[in-house]
């Protein structure tokens, strides 16, 4: 699975679950999810749960960093790398 | 404590007993013990009374010796005994033993300057026939409410807005700016209300109505003349203030009880009250099924320690949804939390046990920097001074130990606080809360967005800050903002007066004694918040007076279940009815599609964060509020004049010598 595919799946999840009240809101893959108010800290946890279930691995709490979960692009990079090293790719 | 209402005509075209009786009927819950009227060509008053002081003789409205001054009061003046002595020494003659009569003579003697002498929680209106003017006043912190509207050139006033509408002469319509303030501060900021054309007299203010014009002025300012060093006699001074603050509030001709949360503040109050009470104190608490919210272990510990007869109101998740429509009928405003609902049930339990006065612990957190928000502000400033530091932001992880573990901690959690506003902004301390609350506005309909175009609640607040604000320390600035945005409009009103009076229970607040405020405001802030240790001076004083585990217990904010209460088993029908597309299209406040998304998340049990919980409560309560006040407004049957304990009539012109106003009916 490519970073583009991960980003697209994750974006669809975010739009449905976090942006249902802001349908005209647009964000780029590199925009900060937290600073732009797309998700809050509990939302990040929900996103972590989705990522683990959708892409078939367990997220280590130490990996819940701004680099890995702060942007859609960061999530895509993290997921692809994680799948490569856990053999789920 | 009572409910008051009245009309002042610009032209002397009479006031009608039926209209006043209808206004009184709409707030009968505030005063089931008595009913009275004053009827004149220009001014009419109605009073529903909850008899607490001078149960037999204190009926209202009440006049002076010659009938030229007439008053209705909601509330209590605690130092009425001392004031009465002073007034008697000056030659005033009293007919009753009530605190209200002290206001009549005090006004005669000192005029408006009387307000500075009062220690109490009051909202009153005096008709001064000598000058054909009405004098309205409200206590310093806004414990007791007073609303007014000008319609057709006449002034209408009442303890609750519903009484204005019950007159049939004041129209009820929503004020969207007021709604927007609820979704910013949790409550409208006085004088604004959520009703267009209806104002709240601001706390610490008085007003004069004469010749069809209302002029308002402030008689009490919040100020923080902070000392550099803590005075050596601080604990003795605090001891005297706490003891007299409680004993003054024990003055009543009926039993006084206490609300016991299990925290430091109410434990201190109940402990002092038990010591001062001539009978076994009765204490009342709410308990929750959810162990994350429940404090019953601590409540029982304190109750056992002070020897009170302790009564408990269990709150199950579904109970809140069941009473929520009644709660909104009484708050008269949308809410962003369900926390008033348990207080509604607690006052019912209290009343069912024949107690109509309770002391509570509100106000301490504002006086002694008890809220986490103050610590959060200190940590945010500390971090922003060294933005590159990686260790400083870890302090945020220590701020909210009572929240779900997964809701806090970590880099992203810290980031929220560090990006929530500039330290140069006077609203810096409250920006995280304001920004979080304002997320509800994402659900606004296009109509509401258009109507609110150009309105900025935060900018209005910045513009209303007093000139002295910039001279105060950042923590005192935060304390001030907490009082003017949350204490007055939400805690004392939606969660305080309205929930108590729904079942005719009067709350009394020893920490809101203005002498205690002056004392606390003059202490160095480090006496109150020492590092991350809140209410430090109060804890030092309380050591030995409450159990050690309570004296050292960290602050746990009072909370109640929010969204889950409306989506569990036994979900009331109104939830679906008010959140469906048709109902939302009818009220035009929220985007039906966005609300449908929220409902879907709530039904799936996924609405776990503050953002969605407060949105659900805010939207549902706004729908209830709209339904109650604009779609199906009630016109109550008037209380008939022959049920009045007292009827005063204005019989002849002023200037014709002493003019005792005759009492009618059973008065």
Above 50 in pLDDT, residue B655?
A: no
Cα B218 to Cα B181: distance, rounded to the nearest angstrom: 22
CATH code of residue B274: 3.40.50.620
Do both B407 and B422 map to the same domain? yes
Residue B165, SS3 per DSSP: helix
Chain B, nearest residue to A41 by Cα: B413
Q: Give the residue on B whose Cα is nearest the Cα of A68.
A: B412
pLDDT per residue over B251-293, tens digit each? 999 999 999 998 999 999 999 999 999 999 999 999 998 888 8
Work out the end-to-end distance of chain B between its first and last CA atoms, rounded to an integer number of angstroms. Answer: 19
Place of tokens 């009820």: B172
Which residues, 6+ apart, have CB-to-CB distance to B506 below 8 Å? B1, B50, B52, B76, B356, B357, B358, B500
pLDDT of residue B419 exceeding 80, the answer is no
Q: What would the two tokens of residue B4 be?
A: 């008051």
Query: pLDDT per residue over B25-70, tens digit each?
Result: 999 999 999 999 999 999 999 999 998 887 777 889 998 878 899 9
End-to-end CA, chain A: 7
pTM: predicted TM-score of the whole model, two decimal places? 0.92
B340 to B270, B296, B400: CA distances (angstroms): 21, 18, 22
Tell me what ipTM this predicted complex has: 0.76
Residue B496 is assigned to a structural domain of this protein? yes
Domains along chain A with CATH numbers: 3-86 (1.10.1200.10)
On whether both B588 and B548 belong to a single domain, the answer is no
Domain count, chain B: 3
**Nearest-neighbour CA in chain B from A88: distance (Å):** 26
Q: Within this chain, do residues B448 and B539 fall inside the same structural domain, yes or no? A: yes
Distance CA B345, CA B82 (A): 36
B245/B304 same-domain check: yes
Whether A21 and B608 lie within 8 Å, measured CB to CB: no
DSSP states of B44-56 as a string? EEEEEE---SSTT
Q: Quick check: B523 and B535 in contact, CB under 8 A?
A: no
For B523, the token pair is: 């202490």
Q: Which residue has the tokens 């879907």?
A: B600
- Answer yes or no: do B412 and A44 touch at CB < 8 A: yes
Q: Mention every residue, 6+ apart, whose C-beta is less than 8 A from residue B226.
A: B472, B473, B476, B521, B522, B523, B524, B525
> Residue B200 and residue B182: Cα distance in Å, rounded?
15
Residue B605 distance to chain A (closest CA, Å): 12
B34 belongs to a structural domain: yes
SS3 B413: helix
Active site residues of B: 2
The reply to whether B280 and B296 lie within a common domain is: yes
Distance from CA of B233 to the nearest CA of A (A): 46
Gap between the Cα atoms of B375 and B396, Å rounded: 9
Residues B526, B623 within the same domain: no
pLDDT in tens, A13-59: 999 888 999 888 889 999 988 778 788 766 787 888 889 889 999 88
Q: Which of A22, A40, A65 sits opposite B416 (nearest CB)?
A: A40
Q: Which residues of B touch A (CB under 8 A)?
A: 404, 406-408, 410-413, 415-416, 419, 436, 439, 442-443, 591, 593-594, 596-598, 600-601, 606, 608-611, 615
What ranges make up the beta strands (E) of B254-355? 256-259, 282-288, 309-315
Report chain A residues whose CB lies below 8 A from the CB of B611.
Answer: 40, 42-43
The torsion angles phi and psi of B226, rounded to 5 degrees, stand at -70, 130
Which region, left, alpha or beta, applies to residue B73 given φ > 0 means left and ψ of -120 to 50 means alpha?
beta
Looking at the fold, whether B165 and B299 belong to one and the same domain comes out as no
Alpha-carbon distance of B429 to B211, in angstroms, equals 43
Q: What are the residues whose beta carbons fall under 8 Å from the beta carbon of A24, sequence distance 6 or more?
A: none
B667 in a structural domain: no
Neighbouring C-beta atoms of residue B658, cutoff 10 Å: 8
What does DSSP assign to residue B382? H
Q: Which two tokens stand for residue B395?
A: 């302090």
| Chain A residues close to B404, C-beta within 8 Å | 42
Sequence-separated (6 or more) residues with CB below 8 Å from residue B596: A20, B581
**Are residues B145 and B102 located together in one domain of the fold?**
yes
Nearest to B411 by CA among B419, B423, B401, B422: B419
Residue from B96, B116, B3 nearest B53 by CA: B96
- Specify the CATH number for the domain of residue B115: 3.60.20.10
Rounded to an integer, what distance in angstroms lies between the CA atom of residue B79 and that of residue B70?
A: 21
Asked if A42 lies within 8 A of B598 by C-beta distance, the reply is: no
Structure token digits, residue B271: 């402990």
Segment B337-354 mean pLDDT:
97
Task: Give strand ranges (E) for B107-187.
Answer: 120-128, 133-138, 147-151, 154-158
Residue B340 lies in a domain: yes
Most B CBs within 10 Å, among A21, A25, A31, A48, to test the B interface: A21
Question: pLDDT, tens digit, for every residue of B425-456?
Answer: 999 999 989 988 999 999 999 999 999 999 99
pLDDT, average across residues B534-539: 95
B598 located within any domain: yes
Whether B20 and B48 have beta carbons less than 8 Å apart is answered as no
| Calpha distance B118→B99 (Å, rounded) | 11
Whether B30 and B179 share a structural domain: yes
Q: Are residues B60 and B177 in the same domain?
A: yes
Domain around B613: 563-631
């Amino acid at each position: 699975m490519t970073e583009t595919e991960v980003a697209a799946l994750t974006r669809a999840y975010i739009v449905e679950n976090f942006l249902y009240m802001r349908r005209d809101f647009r964000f780029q893959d590199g925009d900060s999810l937290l600073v732009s108010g797309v998700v809050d800290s509990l939302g990040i946890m929900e996103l972590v749960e989705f990522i683990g279930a959708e892409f078939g691995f367990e997220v280590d709490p130490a990996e819940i960093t701004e680099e890995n979960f702060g942007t859609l692009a960061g999530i895509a990079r993290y997921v692809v790398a994680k799948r490569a090293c856990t053999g789920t790719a | 404590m009572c409910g008051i209402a009245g009309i002042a005509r610009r032209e002397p075209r009479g006031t009608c007993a039926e209209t006043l009786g209808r206004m009184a009927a709409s707030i009968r819950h505030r005063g089931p013990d008595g009913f009275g009227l004053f009827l004149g060509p220009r001014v009419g008053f109605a009073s529903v009374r909850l008899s607490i002081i001078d149960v037999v003789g204190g009926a209202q409205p009440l006049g002076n010796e010659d009938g030229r001054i007439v008053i209705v009061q909601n509330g209590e003046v605690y130092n009425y005994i001392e004031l009465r002595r002073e007034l008697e020494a000056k030659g005033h003659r009293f007919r009753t033993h009530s605190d209200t009569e002290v206001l009549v003579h005090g006004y005669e003697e000192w005029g408006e300057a009387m307000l500075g002498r009062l220690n109490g929680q009051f909202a009153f209106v005096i008709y001064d026939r000598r000058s054909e003017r009405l004098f309205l006043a409200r206590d310093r912190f806004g414990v007791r409410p007073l609303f007014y509207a000008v319609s057709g050139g006449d002034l209408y006033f009442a303890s609750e807005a519903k009484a204005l509408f019950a007159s049939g002469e004041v129209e009820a319509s929503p004020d969207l700016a007021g709604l927007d303030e609820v979704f910013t501060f949790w409550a409208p900021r006085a004088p604004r209300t959520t009703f267009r054309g209806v104002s709240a007299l601001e706390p610490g203010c008085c007003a004069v109505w004469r010749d069809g014009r209302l002029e308002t002025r402030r008689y009490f300012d919040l100020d923080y003349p902070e000392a550099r060093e803590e005075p050596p006699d601080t604990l003795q001074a605090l001891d005297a203030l706490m003891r007299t603050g409680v004993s003054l509030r024990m003055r009543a001709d009926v039993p006084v009880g206490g609300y016991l949360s299990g925290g430091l503040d109410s434990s201190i109050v109940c402990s002092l009250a038990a010591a001062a009470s001539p009978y076994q104190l009765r204490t009342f608490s709410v308990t929750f099924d959810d162990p994350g919210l429940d404090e019953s272990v601590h409540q029982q510990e304190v109750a056992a320690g002070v020897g009170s007869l302790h009564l408990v109101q269990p709150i199950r998740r579904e109970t809140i949804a069941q009473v929520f429509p009644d709660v909104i009928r009484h708050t008269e405003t949308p809410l962003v939390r369900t926390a008033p609902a348990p207080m509604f049930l607690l006052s019912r339990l209290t009343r069912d046990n024949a107690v109509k006065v309770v002391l509570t612990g509100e106000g301490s957190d504002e006086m002694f920097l008890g809220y986490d928000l103050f610590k959060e502000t200190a940590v945010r400033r500390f971090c922003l001074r060294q933005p590159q530091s990686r260790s400083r932001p870890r302090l945020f992880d220590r701020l909210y130990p009572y929240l779900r573990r997964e809701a806090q901690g970590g880099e992203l959690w810290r980031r929220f606080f560090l990006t929530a506003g500039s330290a140069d902004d006077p609203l810096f301390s409250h920006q995280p809360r304001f920004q979080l609350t304002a997320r509800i506005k994402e659900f606004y309909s296009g109509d509401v967005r258009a109507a609110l175009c150009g309105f900025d609640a935060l900018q209005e607040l910045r513009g209303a800050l007093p000139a002295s604000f910039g001279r105060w320390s950042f923590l005192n600035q935060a304390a001030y903002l907490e009082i003017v945005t949350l204490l007055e409009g939400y805690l004392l009103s939606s969660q305080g007066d309205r929930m108590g009076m729904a079942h005719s229970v009067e709350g009394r607040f020893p920490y809101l004694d203005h002498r205690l405020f002056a004392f606390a405001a003059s202490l160095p802030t480090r006496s109150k918040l020492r590092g991350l240790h809140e209410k430090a001076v109060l804890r030092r004083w309380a050591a030995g007076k409450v159990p050690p585990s309570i004296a050292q217990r960290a602050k746990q904010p009072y909370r109640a279940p929010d969204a889950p209460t409306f989506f569990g088993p036994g979900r009331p029908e109104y939830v679906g009815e008010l959140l469906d597309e048709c109902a939302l299209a009818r009220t035009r406040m929220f985007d039906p599609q966005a609300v449908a998304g929220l409902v879907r998340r709530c039904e799936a049990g996924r609405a776990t964060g503050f953002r969605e919980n407060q949105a659900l409560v805010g939207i549902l309560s706004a729908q209830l509020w709209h339904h109650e006040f604009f779609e199906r407004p009630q016109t109550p049957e008037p209380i008939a004049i022959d049920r009045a304990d007292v009827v005063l009539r204005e019989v002849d012109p002023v200037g014709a010598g002493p003019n005792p106003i005759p009492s009618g009916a059973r008065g």
